[in-house]
Amino acid sequence: MNDRVLRWAAAVAFAGASIMPAVCAQEAPKNLPTLLIKGEVVSVDTNDPTAALLKVKDRYGFETPIYLMPETKIAQGDQTLTVANLTAGTMVEVEYNFDINTAKRHAVSVNVPQPKPTASQTASAEATATPGTTVAPAASPPSPAAMPTGEAGAPQPEASSTAPPQPTETTP
């Protein structure tokens, strides 16, 4: 009986030893999912020599700390920027990985969107592009407050004077 137990234990040990390297070889490091946050730069802390700490406030008002590693790409369009270009109030789009072992976010890339031209800039650009011509402003739709509403508060089409007459009931 002892001989059977020893043979069985040896067989299990041998089987485990031959399977274990194959299982360990399959557990390669997993790629972390890349997440995206859009918001406004609150602060940039460059006191840590290994990674700067960027705090981004999203549209809900939450501040998210993200570490800027040396390999993080910071750009505005085709132009490459540095950490010094990220000042408080700058709008950014940050792609980052979340490391569950350290509970830290590491930036992959930081994109500073191109500033949108203001109405005065677009008007001056159009005026310089085609001198002597004027551009009429687009007609705006009527405001919802000016539209008649039904019982549910939904806008109803206005009655026109060419509507067919409504039938009237006559009682005999």
What CATH number has the domain bearing residue 77?
A: 2.40.50.140
Q: How many residues does the chain have?
A: 172
Single-letter residue type at 171: T
Short-list 105, 76, 78, 80, CA closest to 93: 76
Q: Is residue 84 part of a domain?
A: yes
Return per-residue pLDDT of the chain as tens, 172 residues.
667 766 776 666 666 655 555 555 555 556 778 999 999 999 999 998 889 999 999 999 999 999 999 999 999 999 999 999 999 999 999 999 999 999 999 999 999 998 777 666 666 666 565 555 555 566 666 665 555 555 555 555 555 556 566 666 666 6
Half-sphere exposure of 17 (CA within 13 A, CB side): 6
Domain with 65 in it: 34-111
- Determine, yes or no, domain membership for 116: no
pLDDT at 114: 86
Cα–Cα distances (Å) from 131 to 32, 105, 138, 167, in that order, read 54, 51, 20, 59
**Domain assignment of residue 76, yes or no:** yes
Inside any domain, residue 79: yes
Q: What's the pTM? A: 0.52
Strand pairing report for 63-68 and 34-45: unpaired
Give me the pLDDT at residue 159, please. Answer: 53
> What pLDDT is recorded for position 157?
54
Query: Residue 88 domain-assigned?
Result: yes
86 domain-assigned: yes
In this structure, are residues 42 and 65 in contact, taking their beta carbons and an 8 Å threshold? no
CA 62, 30, 110: angle at the middle one, nearest 5? 40
Examine residue 70 and state whether it is found in any structural domain, yes or no: yes
Number of domains in the chain: 1
Flag whether 128 is in a domain. no
DSSP 50: S
